[in-house]
Amino acid sequence: MTLAVFFGCTFIAFGPAFGLFIFTIARDPLRIIILIAGAFFWLVSLLLSSLIWFIAVKASDPQDEQLQKGLLIFGVMFSVLLQEAFRFLYYKLLRKAIEGLVALSEDGCSPISIQQMAYVAGVGFGLMSGAFSMINLLADALGPGTVGIHGDSQLYFLTSAFMTMVLIFLHTFWGILFFHGCEHRRWWEIVAVVIMHLTVSGLSFCNPLYVGSLVPSYLLMAAAAAWAYLLSGGSAQNLRRFLLCLRSEASPQPGS
């Protein structure tokens, strides 16, 4: 426990997201607002799903363990669906906002594109989701205690941190995929995002069998990353050029 675990888990969970924030979002005020609004939308979806779960729990027998667990699973699935629904609502709002920005701008084009908004919205969702999962754990990690002293897994904090990181990344990629699907009317992309989200959440039911939840989640994240990269205009050639630090006069700009 104590500081080492606290800092370690904080940086594992939020380090990449923090880096993304600093380098891509913090400079532009509009993106910061979209980020916070995305976090807000995720929060509202969580609120509504907690409300439903709370009502279900209050209406049921608190002694029945299996029922409670079943209700929790139902709550998780419902929450996932609601999150995606709110992502769709946020997409609608951002579309309207783009039209407003275009109308307000002097040269008829919006200062931010829908792809950038998709990315920032994804990061917003991810950050809020990660924060809500992780912050209380981190606060507890600062204090005294022994992890898993009652027979639970000793890797609880570490795996939570890794899971949070993968979820933040996944939300980012899902944002890009989802908005792309909405933009180009490709419903199968949207359905794929929803199914991926349900899968990742469902995999977490394997916990504490972490190999069943973390490994597939990371594989899914890699797949989502590759897909989002391709959809944003990336290609194997771009990647090769980037990795070899090659210069080229006419390289396509992904996602701008």
Q: Tell me: does residue 40 bind other proteins (CB under 8 A).
A: yes
Please state, in angstroms and rounded to a whole number, the distance separating the CA atoms of residues 9 and 162. 8
Q: Tell me: does residue 100 bind other proteins (CB under 8 A).
A: yes
Q: Tell me: does residue 98 bind other proteins (CB under 8 A).
A: no
Q: Tell me: does residue 195 bind other proteins (CB under 8 A).
A: no
- What SS3 string covers the chain? CHHHHHHHHHHHHHHHHHHHHHHHHCCCHHHHHHHHHHHHHHHHHHHHHHHHHHHHHHCCCCCCHHHHHHHHHHHHHHHHHHHHHHHHHHHHHHHHHHHHHHHHCCCCCCCCCHHHHHHHHHHHHHHHHHHHHHHHHHHHHHCCCCCCCCCCCCCHHHHHHHHHHHHHHHHHHHHHHHHHHHHCCCHHHHHHHHHHHHHHHHHHHHCCCHHHHHHHHHHHHHHHHHHHHHHCCCCHHHHHHHHCCCCCCCCCCCCC
Q: Tell me: does residue 199 bind other proteins (CB under 8 A).
A: no
Q: Tell me: does residue 83 bind other proteins (CB under 8 A).
A: yes
In the complex, minimum distance from the CB of residue 108 to other proteins, in angstroms, rounded to a whole number: 11
In the complex, minimum distance from the CB of residue 188 to other proteins, in angstroms, rounded to a whole number: 24
Q: Tell me: does residue 18 bind other proteins (CB under 8 A).
A: no
**Which of these, 24, 8, 37, 16, lies nearest to 169 by C-alpha position?**
16
Distance of alpha carbon 141 from the chain centroid: 23
The binder of other proteins chosen from 160, 174, 176, 220 (CB under 8 A) = 160
Q: Tell me: does residue 193 bind other proteins (CB under 8 A).
A: no
In the complex, minimum distance from the CB of residue 231 to other proteins, in angstroms, rounded to a whole number: 25
Q: Tell me: does residue 10 bind other proteins (CB under 8 A).
A: no
Q: Tell me: does residue 56 bind other proteins (CB under 8 A).
A: no
Which range binds other proteins by CB under 8 A, 31-39, 171-179, 222-230, 232-240?
A: 31-39
The binder of other proteins chosen from 67, 76, 93, 225 (CB under 8 A) = 76
- Give every CB contact of residue 147 below 8 A, 6+ residues apart in sequence: 1, 154, 155, 156, 157
The binder of other proteins chosen from 3, 4, 59, 104 (CB under 8 A) = 104
Q: Tell me: does residue 242 bind other proteins (CB under 8 A).
A: no
The binder of other proteins chosen from 1, 67, 72, 147 (CB under 8 A) = 72
Where along the sequence are the contacts to other proteins (CB under 8 A)?
A: 29-30, 32-33, 36-37, 39-40, 43, 46-47, 49-51, 53-54, 57, 69, 72-73, 75-76, 79-80, 83, 100-101, 104-106, 111, 128-129, 131-133, 135-137, 139, 156, 159-160, 163, 167, 200-201, 204-205, 207-208
